[in-house]
Amino acid sequence: MNRERLANGLTQMGVAFDQRAMERFEAFHAILDEYNARMDLTAVLDEDERVDRHDLDSAAPLAHGLLAPDARVIDVGTGAGFPGMPLLILRPDLRMTFLDALQKRVSFLDDALTRLGLTATTLHARAEDAARMEAHRERYDAAVSRAVASCAVLQELTLPFVREGGVSIAWKGPGVAQELTAGRRAAFLLGGKVRGVLDAPVPGREDWQHVLLITDKTGKTPAIYPRKAGTPGKKPLGM
């Protein structure tokens, strides 16, 4: 791992880090490579690009001060642990839950957390099913997601986890403007309100137009949401 690139990028973003965080990032990259040799976790193999696309991009909420101390956070559709793992490495105080529908990814994260000496919860489930569990419904200060889905779909997959007064943070690209109308409608139906879009630049990657879609949880999510697994993607709310 290119420690200098990561350190310089975090510094430019205004995100605090220490030597222990750098050691954990390096170890996590090694564990990711170890597992990636036998299962498909990430297609990003170039180390500089991995630092930029996974580590620095995942840290964007910290640059904007979006996560309070000791916040309870759920990473919905975490995959190989992004954005949750970089957030936890930089902020071990976060009470993080990693949610994914594939057991092999959850097993990878369990092993990585143990080897990194980090404490977090992992959950093997579909988001639509997990959000109906009493232990997880409207229990989180923040839900984060870098899943590739429209704004409207992400609202239904994340807002049911968020308590009133909490926030949903979704990573999006330049096409977010075309999705906002439906995203606002979906948020309203789910007890939320779109606050807006924040720029999330990655230092040295001026051609990347990454943003964070911020949705505040202003009321309770009606009991009918989320709909059964698969439905949000097939029939997005607000469309």
CATH number for 159: 3.40.50.150
What local confidence, expressed as pLDDT, does residue 190 receive? 98
What local confidence, expressed as pLDDT, does residue 46 receive? 81
Domain that holds residue 49: 3-232
What local confidence, expressed as pLDDT, does residue 49 receive? 84
How far apart are the C-alpha atoms of 76 and 138, rounded to whole Å? 14
Q: How many domains does the chain have?
A: 1
Residue 89 within any structural domain of the chain: yes
Residue 1 has pLDDT above 90, yes or no: no
Q: Taking the model in full, what pTM does it have?
A: 0.96
**Omega of the bond leading into 226 within 30 degrees of 0 (cis):** yes
Residue 228 within any structural domain of the chain: yes
16's tokens: 């605090």
Q: At 79, give phi and psi (nearest 5°).
A: 65, -120
What local confidence, expressed as pLDDT, does residue 148 receive? 74
What local confidence, expressed as pLDDT, does residue 201 receive? 92
CB contact at 8 A, 190 and 160 = yes
User: What is the pLDDT averaged over residues 45-64?
Assistant: 91
Q: Alpha helix (H) ranges present in the chain?
A: 3-13, 19-36, 47-50, 57-58, 60-63, 84-90, 103-116, 127-130, 151-158, 180-189, 231-234
Strand partners, 171: 212
Strand partners, 123: 99
Residue 238 within any structural domain of the chain: no
Residue 65 within any structural domain of the chain: yes
Non-local (6+) Cβ contacts of 136 within 8 A are 74, 97, 123, 130, 161
Strand partners, 217: 192
Residue 20 within any structural domain of the chain: yes
Non-local (6+) Cβ contacts of 81 within 8 A are 28, 32, 75, 98, 108, 109, 112
What local confidence, expressed as pLDDT, does residue 38 receive? 87
What local confidence, expressed as pLDDT, does residue 99 receive? 98
pLDDT class of 47 with cuts at 50, 70, 90: confident
Over pLDDT 70: what percentage of the chain? 99
Nearest C-alpha neighbor of 146 from the set 232, 43, 54, 33: 54
pLDDT class of 222 with cuts at 50, 70, 90: very high
Residue 43 has pLDDT above 70, yes or no: no
Residue 239 within any structural domain of the chain: no
Residue 31 has pLDDT above 80, yes or no: yes
Tens of pLDDT, residue by residue over 59-91, are: 999 999 999 999 999 999 999 999 999 999 999
Average pLDDT, the chain: 95
Residue 77 within any structural domain of the chain: yes
Residue 237 within any structural domain of the chain: no
Contacts 24+ apart (CB under 8 A), 206-209: 208/52, 209/173, 209/174
